Amino acid sequence: MIKLILSLSLVLISLDCLAQIDYSKLIIGRNTGTKTLHDGNVTKVFGFTETLNEVTDTPGPTIRVTEGDTVQIDFWNVSQGAPHTIHLHGLDVNQENDGVPHLSFAVNHMDHGYYQFKAPHPGTYIYHCHVVSTIHVQAGMYGVIIVEPSNGSTNTTWVGGETFDRDILLTASEIDTNWHTEAVLDHEHDPANPISVFVPEDYIPQYFLVNGLSETQLADPLNHYTTGANEDIFIRLVNIGYYGVRYVFPVSMNARTILSDGRPLPQDFVNDTIEVLPGERYGTLIQTGTEAFYNVDVEYFNMNTQVVASSQQVTLRTSLASINKLELNLVIYPNPSGNGIFHAVNAFTADYAVYDVDGEMVLKSSEQLIDLSKQKPGMYIIRYQGSAVKLCVQ
């Protein structure tokens, strides 16, 4: 009988080992990353990449999986220092695959290991290294895992949930460059004596990031988020920093938070301001109208003092293709305009505004003669009471 039980256990173990992998992902951990900050300073970071030839930056790649899939992360540690892990923050996984070094396993330099889990509830999760996590997370070893619903829809919050036109991921974090020195980051971790690693006493970040960018980087039109007009957008709000974060949406976007940490909220939270504490994730539905730009403020506050240390701005740019241009009854001369001068007849009863492609307003007026002759060649957008017209100045 004992023999029979033993052999049954062996069969079960081998079946488990042979479980079908629905989704496999290679993630490489490295200590040799660099990050260019908005003021041109370059700081040393740790991070995750999908290939060996990428520059290691932070956050790491976003991993998208489907609810119910058996997921395998093949994690390689190609760093030149401490061991690393992948902790699956917020996901219901077993202890062996949870990446907390003393309870799970760590991957040493030039070694690899598999983290396996069955993707649970649809939502937004974090993965990060859990070796001296105070240091390694600040160093940059983090990314986001998105679990999409099992009905095959990438535009549904969960099976039977709400639909949306697109989702946008906003991950907040900070950098204190005093934590990114050789003295702090270049260490060989000793698992027998983990507290031997030097952790700076103060944490006073100078850089406040959304998806790894700040200040002028976020203002750069290349880093704006393109949306359509009159769209429902599912915003995935993540905070992997050590400060609290408040995302403040324009009132007109009707922000409605419906999901937290991979679970639908028992009741929607209707508020333009959503506070996300370190490690938390929220799912918030917002709507665009026909404005050209929507700015989302991101405030970072010290968890001890509640003092706001920084405010960043994320811009959503509405694609003009989806705005009904015919609503604006403009007579334009000459058309096409070669010198940038428009003549509008009986069109403007209130101010119109002209924007350049960077979203800067170059003119606000109710004059019927729109003089763009002093502007540089390029595309401009005239907006008037919710309508828009594109103009090319040559």
CB 244 within 8 A of CB 303: yes
Smallest separation, CB 103 to Cu ion (Å)? 15
Q: What part of residues 137-156 is at the interface with Cu ion (CB under 5 A)?
A: 141
Measured distance CA(70)–CA(65) in Å, rounded: 9
Q: 141 vs 146, which CB is nearer to Cu ion?
A: 141
Measured distance CA(332)–CA(339) in Å, rounded: 12
Q: Which of 27, 88, 131, 391 binds Cu ion (CB under 5 A)?
A: 131
Tell me: does residue 136 bind Cu ion (CB under 5 A): yes
Piece of 134-142, 302-310, 345-353, 381-389 that binds Cu ion (CB under 5 A): 134-142
Measured distance CA(309)–CA(287) in Å, rounded: 29
Tell me: does residue 229 bind Cu ion (CB under 5 A): no
Measured distance CA(262)–CA(244) in Å, rounded: 20
Piece of 53-61, 136-144, 293-301, 342-350 that binds Cu ion (CB under 5 A): 136-144
The residue assigned the tokens 């079960």 is: 12
Q: 71 vs 129, which CB is nearer to Cu ion?
A: 129
Which one-letter DSSP state was computed for residue 87? E
Q: 78 vs 309, which CB is nearer to Cu ion?
A: 78
Measured distance CA(340)–CA(333) in Å, rounded: 10
Q: 81 vs 378, which CB is nearer to Cu ion?
A: 81
Which one-letter DSSP state was computed for residue 217? H
Q: 25 vs 246, which CB is nearer to Cu ion?
A: 25
Tell me: does residue 89 bind Cu ion (CB under 5 A): no
Tell me: does residue 44 bind Cu ion (CB under 5 A): no
How many residues sit close enough to Cu ion to count as binding (CB under 5 A)?
A: 5
Virtual torsion, Cα 333, 337, 341, 344, nearest 10 deg = 30
Tell me: does residue 106 bind Cu ion (CB under 5 A): no
Tell me: does residue 129 bind Cu ion (CB under 5 A): yes
Piece of 80-88, 215-223, 334-342, 343-351 that binds Cu ion (CB under 5 A): 80-88
Smallest separation, CB 36 to Cu ion (Å)? 22
* Residue of 207, 179, 180 whose CA lies nearest to 38: 207
Tell me: does residue 135 bind Cu ion (CB under 5 A): no
* Residue of 250, 288, 302, 240 whose CA lies nearest to 271: 250
Tell me: does residue 189 bind Cu ion (CB under 5 A): no
Name the residue with the smallest CB distance to Cu ion.
129
Long-range contacts of 6-10 (CB under 8 A, 24+ apart): none
Tokens of 289: 């109208």
Piece of 132-140, 148-156, 294-302, 368-376 that binds Cu ion (CB under 5 A): 132-140
Q: 84 vs 256, which CB is nearer to Cu ion?
A: 84
Tokens of 99: 């990446």
Smallest separation, CB 75 to Cu ion (Å)? 11
CB 229 within 8 A of CB 323: yes
Strand-pair partners of 33: 45
Q: 119 vs 129, which CB is nearer to Cu ion?
A: 129
CA atoms in the 13 A half-sphere facing the CB of 61:
16
Which amino acid is residue 59, in one-letter code?
A: P
Q: Which of 35, 84, 87, 128 binds Cu ion (CB under 5 A)?
A: 84
Smallest separation, CB 21 to Cu ion (Å)? 24
Q: Which residues bind Cu ion (CB under 5 A)?
A: 84, 129, 131, 136, 141
